[in-house]
């Protein structure tokens, strides 16, 4: 029985670590954004030095992602379980602290444990980590029961080549775009539709009658029923996927609807600090060869005077509009990035390293 529990916990935790790591490896930039949130929270609540880690959020996130996958593989092959279980326990204790702190103080609303693929509430993340903590403690206490599946050279080779392969996979995702886009701005998604709830909210009411708790989807007004509370039981369907998308013109007018009309090639420039100035040569070349009817628009979070100076430097003669930087980061993991939208539907997305040819864009238009 003990052997069964040992192997069940080992395989479950190892598999979950690999799955979690692979989901985040699909989008390292997204994990870096989440790391930045944690650093900023810690800088405010604990030590201001955490603020200096913000510029290094991406390499730190990337290293954690690859390391998480390697720990999962080490568990599956019983690699040096004396060391592996100690590392595992240290990681889980740290993650449990993070998720508890986020949940209790409502600091970071999504831990990013599974990227954008499986969003978890702070308390869901914490409960998940508590379960993993119990399993990790068991594995640590019983670490001497495990025998390595492979000889030392083979096991070391598996981890070494895994590290190389997953590093390459992650770098490619950074240099281009996520392999799978789980966000509501993915190709094929309708932005205006995702700004609307898919269904009306369904309420479940809680009443007390004769000391007994009664739940009902109808509001009971009969005598003897005391109202206690209510909750929406279809939040996933009754809440919009997109709640913060808005576009403002230079004159301060709402231009959100304008981005949904006709064919727009959105040029996303979230900031100037991290933008690739060389990329604008290819973008300008593309814009000069587009057929009529495709309207380019710049969406940026940069201040007007600063951006106006920059666009003259890179000769980007395109109307520009303002959008929150968090929204722009969610829209495309590239700075600059390109998004083709037709009547509000995303038709194509490109990293600036993959700036398309005009024919690529024309072929996507209905």
Half-sphere exposure of 267 (CA within 13 A, CB side): 25
User: For residues 360 and 350, what is the distance between their CA atoms, to the nearest angstrom?
Assistant: 11
Residues 6 or more apart in contact with residue 234 via CB below 8 angstroms: 199, 201, 202
Which helix or strand (DSSP H or E) is residue 267 part of?
strand 263-269
Cα(351)–Cα(346) distance, integer angstroms? 15
How far is the C-alpha of 108 from the C-alpha of 38, rounded, in Å? 7
Looking at residue 223, its pLDDT comes to 81
The H or E element that residue 57 is part of is helix 57-76
140, 75 in Cβ contact below 8 A? no
Tell me whether strands 294-300 and 263-269 are parallel, antiparallel or unpaired: parallel
For 223, other C-beta atoms within 10 Å of its C-beta total 6
CATH of region 247-363, choose from 3.40.30.10, 3.40.50.920, 2.102.10.10, 2.40.10.120: 3.40.30.10
List where CATH 3.40.30.10 sits in the chain: 247-363
DSSP classification of residue 62: H
Residue ranges in the chain whose pLDDT is less than 50: none
| Separation of alpha carbons 338 and 352, rounded Å | 7
Query: CA–CA separation, 145 vs 152, rounded Å?
Result: 17
Residues 115, 30: contact at Cβ < 8 Å?
yes
What global pTM score does this model have? 0.85
Q: What is the pLDDT of residues 323-346, one digit of tens each?
A: 999 999 999 999 999 999 999 999
253 and 242 Cβ atoms separated by less than 8 Å: no
Helices (H), 195-346: 235-238, 279-288, 304-313, 325-331
- How far apart CA 263 and CA 293 sit, in angstroms, is 7
pLDDT at 110: 64
Q: CA torsion 156→158→162→164, rounded to 10°? A: 60
Using alpha carbons, select from 270, 258, 268 the residue that is nearest to residue 355. 268
CB neighbours of residue 95 within 10 Å: 19
Category of 111 on φ-ψ map: left (φ > 0), alpha (ψ -120 to 50) or beta = alpha
The answer for residues whose C-beta is within 8 angstroms of residue 350's C-beta and 6 or more apart is 177, 334, 337, 338, 339, 356
């Amino acid at each position: 029985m003990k052997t069964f529990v040992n192997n069940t916990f080992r395989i479950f935790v190892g598999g979950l670590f690999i799955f979690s790591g692979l989901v985040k490896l699909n989008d390292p930039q997204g994990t870096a954004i989440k790391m930045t949130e944690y650093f900023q929270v810690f800088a405010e609540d604990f030590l201001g030095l955490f603020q200096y880690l913000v510029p290094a959020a991406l390499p730190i996130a990337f290293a954690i992602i690859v390391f998480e996958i390697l720990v999962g593989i080490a568990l599956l092959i019983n690699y040096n379980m004396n060391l592996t279980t100690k590392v595992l326990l240290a990681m889980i204790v740290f993650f449990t602290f993070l998720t508890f702190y986020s949940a209790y103080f409502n600091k970071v609303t999504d831990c990013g444990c599974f990227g954008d693929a499986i969003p978890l509430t702070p308390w869901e993340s914490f409960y998940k980590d508590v379960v993993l903590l119990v399993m990790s403690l068991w594995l640590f206490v019983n670490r001497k029961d495990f025998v390595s599946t492979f000889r030392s050279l083979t096991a070391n080779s598996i981890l070494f080549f895994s590290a190389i392969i997953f590093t390459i996979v992650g770098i490619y995702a950074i240099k281009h775009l996520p392999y799978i886009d789980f966000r509501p701005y993915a190709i094929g998604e309708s932005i205006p539709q995702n700004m609307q709830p898919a269904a009306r909210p369904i309420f479940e009411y809680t009443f007390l009658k004769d000391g007994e708790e009664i739940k009902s989807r109808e509001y009971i007004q009969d005598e003897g029923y005391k109202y206690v509370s209510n909750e929406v039981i279809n939040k996933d369907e009754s809440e919009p996927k997109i709640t913060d998308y808005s576009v403002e013109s230079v004159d301060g007018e709402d231009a959100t609807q304008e981005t949904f009309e006709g064919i727009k090639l959105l040029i996303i420039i979230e900031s100037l600090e991290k933008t690739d100035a060389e990329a604008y040569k290819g973008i300008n070349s593309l814009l000069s060869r587009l057929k009529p009817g495709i309207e380019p628009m710049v969406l940026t979070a940069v201040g007007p005077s600063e951006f106006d100076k920059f666009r003259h430097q890179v000769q980007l003669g395109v109307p520009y509009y303002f959008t929150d930087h968090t929204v722009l980061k969610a829209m495309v993991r590239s700075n600059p990035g390109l998004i083709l939208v037709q009547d509000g539907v995303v038709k194509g997305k490109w990293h600036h390293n993959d700036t398309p040819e005009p024919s690529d864009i024309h072929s996507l238009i209905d």
